[in-house]
A and B are shown apart, each in its own frame.
Chain A
Amino acid sequence: MIDKAILRKIEHTAIIAEDGLIVGLIGGVVLFSVIQIVMRLFFNSGFIWADELIKMFVLWATLVASISASRENKHLKIDLISNLIAPQYSMLLQAFNALITSGICIIIAWHAFRFVGLTFDFDEKVLIDIPAWIAYSIIPIAFLLMSFRYLIACIKHLSRYNKPLR
Chain B
Amino acid sequence: MMILLALLCLVGTPLFAIIAASAMIGYQSEGIDLMALVIEILGLANMPFLSAIPLFTVSGYLLSESGAPKRLVRLTNAMLGWMPCGLAIVSLFACAFFTAFTGASGVTIIAIGAILYPALKTDGYSEKFSLGLITTSGSLGLLFAPSLPLILYGVIAEVSIDDLFKAGLLPGILMLLMLSFYCLWVGRHSSREIKPFNFDELINAFRESAWELPLPIIVLGGIYSGFFAVSEAAAITALYVICIEVLLLKEIKIADLPRLMRESMLLVGGILIVLAVSLASTNYMIDSGVPQQLFFTISSVISDQFTFLALLLLFLLILGAILDIFAAIVLVVPLLLPVANQYGIDEIHLGIIFLSAMQLGYLTPPVGLNLFIASYRFDKSIAAVYAATLPFFAILFISVILITYWPTLTLFLL
Q: Nearest chain-B residue to A113 (Cβ)?
A: B38
Q: Are A93 and B235 in contact (CB under 8 A)?
A: no
Given A96-B11, A105-B17, A112-B38 in contact, is the A76-B45 Cβ separation under 8 Å?
no
Contact: B54 with A61, CB < 8 Å? yes
Chain A residues with Cβ below 8 Å from B257 are 23
User: Contact check: which of A62, A72, A100 meets B272 at CB < 8 Å?
Assistant: A62
Q: Interface of A with B (CB < 8 Å)? A: 18-20, 22-23, 26, 29-30, 33-34, 36-37, 52, 54-59, 61-66, 68-69, 72-83, 93-94, 96-97, 100-101, 104-105, 107-108, 111-112, 114-115, 118, 136, 139
Chain B residue at smallest Cβ distance from A101: B17
CB contact under 8 A between A76 and B12, given known A58-B45, A61-B54? no
Inter-subunit contact B12/A68 (CB<8 Å): no
- Which residues of A have CB within 8 Å of B268? 61-62, 65
Alpha-carbon distance A23/B58, docked complex (angstroms): 10
With known contacts A78-B367, A80-B10, A108-B38, A26–B54 Cβ distance under 8 A: yes
Contact B262 A22 (CB under 8 A): yes
Whether A59 pairs with B38 at a CB distance below 8 angstroms is: no
User: Cβ of B50: which chain A residues have Cβ within 8 Å of it?
Assistant: 55, 58
CA distance A74 to B312 in the complex (A): 30
Task: Name the one of B39, B44, B266, B327 contacting A69, with C-beta atoms under 8 angstroms.
Answer: B266
Chain A nearest CB from B27 CB (Å) reads 10
B366 touches A80 (CB 8 A): yes
Least CB distance from B151 to A in Å reads 13
Further contacts, 20 of them, CB under 8 A, given A64-B269, A80-B366: A22-B261, A26-B58, A29-B55, A37-B236, A57-B51, A58-B51, A62-B273, A65-B269, A66-B16, A66-B269, A75-B14, A75-B15, A77-B14, A78-B322, A80-B10, A80-B322, A83-B366, A111-B33, A118-B35, A139-B38
Q: Can you show 15 pairs from A to B with CB atoms below 8 A apart?
A: A19-B259, A19-B262, A30-B55, A30-B242, A37-B235, A37-B236, A58-B50, A66-B273, A77-B15, A78-B9, A78-B322, A80-B12, A97-B11, A101-B17, A104-B24
Task: Select A100's contact among B8, B46, B259, beta carbons within 8 Å.
Answer: B8
Chain A residue at smallest Cβ distance from B7:
A81
Contacts of A54 in B (CB 8 A): 51, 231
Cα–Cα distance between A37 and B11 once the two chains are bound (Å): 46
Q: Contacts A112-B38, A115-B39 given; indicate if A63 touches B12 (C-beta within 8 A).
A: no
Q: What 0/1 pattern do residues 11 to 39 of B give for CB contact below 8 A with A?
A: 11111110011001000000001110111
* Chain B residues near A (Cβ < 8 Å): 8-17, 20-21, 24, 33-35, 37-39, 41-42, 44-47, 50-51, 54-55, 58, 228, 231-232, 234-236, 238-239, 242, 257-259, 261-262, 265-266, 268-274, 276, 322-324, 326-327, 366-367
Closest B residue, CB atoms, query A52: B45
A100 to B7, CA, bound (A): 12
A26 to B34, CA, bound (A): 30
Name the residue on B nearest A116 (C-beta): B38
A107 to chain B, nearest CB (A): 7
Please indicate the chain B residues that have their CB under 8 angstroms from the CB of A56 in the complex: 45
Given contacts A34-B239, A64-B269, A75-B273, whether A136 and B55 have CB atoms under 8 Å apart is no
The docked-state distance in angstroms from the alpha carbon of A83 to that of B372 is 13
Q: How many angstroms from the CA of A83 to the CA of B375 in the assembled complex?
A: 15
CA distance A19 to B327 in the complex (A): 24
A36 to B239, CA, bound (A): 13
B259 to chain A, nearest CB (A): 8
Docked Cα-Cα span, A113 to B238, in Å, equals: 35
Cα distance A62–B274 in the bound complex, in angstroms: 10
Residues of B within 8 A of A61 (CB): 54, 265, 268-269
Chain A nearest CB, measured from B387 CB (Å): 19
Which A residues are CB-close (under 8 A) to B47? 55
How far is A104 from B23 in the complex, measured between Cα atoms in Å?
11
> Is A55 a contact of B51 with CB atoms below 8 Å?
yes
